[in-house]
Amino acid sequence: MAFREKIAWLTLISLILVYGVYFAVLGPQIDFGAASLVEVLWRFGPVAVVHALIMIAGTIALTIASPSEAKAPRDERDQAIERRSFQVGYYVLLIGLVWVGLVMPFSEPVYKIFHAGLIVIVASEILRYGMIVLAYRRG
């Protein structure tokens, strides 16, 4: 398996696990009616930090395992895969944020807008890395 495919797997799995825990367990515990923005960020911050730490540790481990591949620049196929995946992720992000930013404020409470925004960002990233993994698997 290529180094960049391993990184894509790492990112995809860590996104699903970490933000899955947030949206399933931690997010619903926030008392949005009473909690201030600082309190909300206090809940969400550690999730983002854990994700960052997993990515840093995983990237270091994968780099140590195959240093020459890690040093090599992206070749044309890597770039083509990233370009196509980014395009799909971008459209999902754009459509999602238009909904969250321009439609939801007229009908939904703030906490739903906050979480919908996060879901759109995470979903677009999961889709992007899912597409990258799929493209590498196809050959």
**Residue 3 vs 19, nearer CB to another protein:** 3
User: With binding defined as CB under 8 A, does residue 71 bind another protein?
Assistant: no
What is the per-residue burial (b if ≥16 Cβ within 10 Å, else e) of 25-44?
Answer: eebeebeeeeeeeeebeeeb
- Is residue 2 near another protein by the rule CB under 8 A? yes
Taking contact as CB under 8 A, which single stretch among the options 26-34, 36-44, 71-79, 108-116 is the one that binds another protein?
71-79
Does 77 bind another protein (CB under 8 A)? Our answer is yes
DSSP SS3 for 23: helix
User: Is residue 92 part of the contact set for another protein (CB under 8 A)?
Assistant: no
Residues 6+ apart with CB under 8 A from 16: 126
Q: How many residues bind another protein (CB under 8 A)?
A: 12
Give contact residues for another protein (rule: CB under 8 A).
2, 5, 69, 72, 75-78, 80, 136, 138-139
